[in-house]
Structure 1
């Protein structure tokens, strides 16, 4: 694992706390659409390791909300979440989980009523 250099703007050290709690490994347990069964039910991607695709370079884990629906929060609300509500995500699992949450939110939204002319 490479040295843990926090991202810019991490004045409270949340990223370091989340990454330490995760032992430097993505904490996705299948919300991304993959079952991760081969890896004990948890994503095998580690901070500083290499991505699944050739040539992607070292992976940098993200500290983001644990709940998929919270991934859709505006940035200012997501930043206000306590550290207990955050987990480490690899970019691939984070993006896939966020897309799945957005799709589920769209599917559960009530259909818009057509505007009537009279």
Structure 2
């Protein structure tokens, strides 16, 4: 089997390719998405361009913040992170980790005081 073609996103200045090279083209999730990934040694087994999705397409890994708290940054701040703060994510794990980070942040925020009626 030949090596997967690593097509970079439009406008990539090499950052995406550097992140993918550091990850060996494999999703770097180790459970932040809520799945233990036990069948693959604790790390997601999805590789860029090789695993098929349920819809029949190929998985396209993305470079996104590695830390859960950074997943909640606005897009312009996340895009400015250095390579060492980014990780390769499959879309499924990225969505799960982002959802978990959002729920954790909401749980840590104290409820707002109700507005006075009078």
Report the TM-score when normalising by structure 1: 0.92
Query: In the alignment, which residue of structure 2 is the partner of 1:29?
Result: 30
Cα deviation, residue 52, structure 1: 5.0
Query: In the alignment, which residue of structure 2 is the partner of 1:10?
Result: 12
- What are the equivalent positions in structure 2 for 1:48-67 lying under 5 Å apart? 48-51=49-52, 53=54, 55-67=55-67
| Unpaired stretches in structure 2, ≥5 consecutive residues | none
Alignment partners' CA distance in 2, 1:87 and 1:45: 14
Contact 1:50/1:56, CA 8 A, preserved across alignment? no
Cα deviation, residue 69, structure 1: 1.4
Alignment partners' CA distance in 2, 1:115 and 1:38: 50
Cα separation, partners in 2 of 1:32 and 1:82, compared to 1, 3 Å: same
Alignment partners' CA distance in 2, 1:52 and 1:107: 32
4+ residue segments displaced more than 2 Å: 50-53
Contact 2:26/2:45, CA 8 A, preserved across alignment? yes
Cα deviation, residue 49, structure 1: 1.5
In the alignment of these two chains, the number of paired residues is 116
Alignment partners' CA distance in 1, 2:73 and 2:83: 16
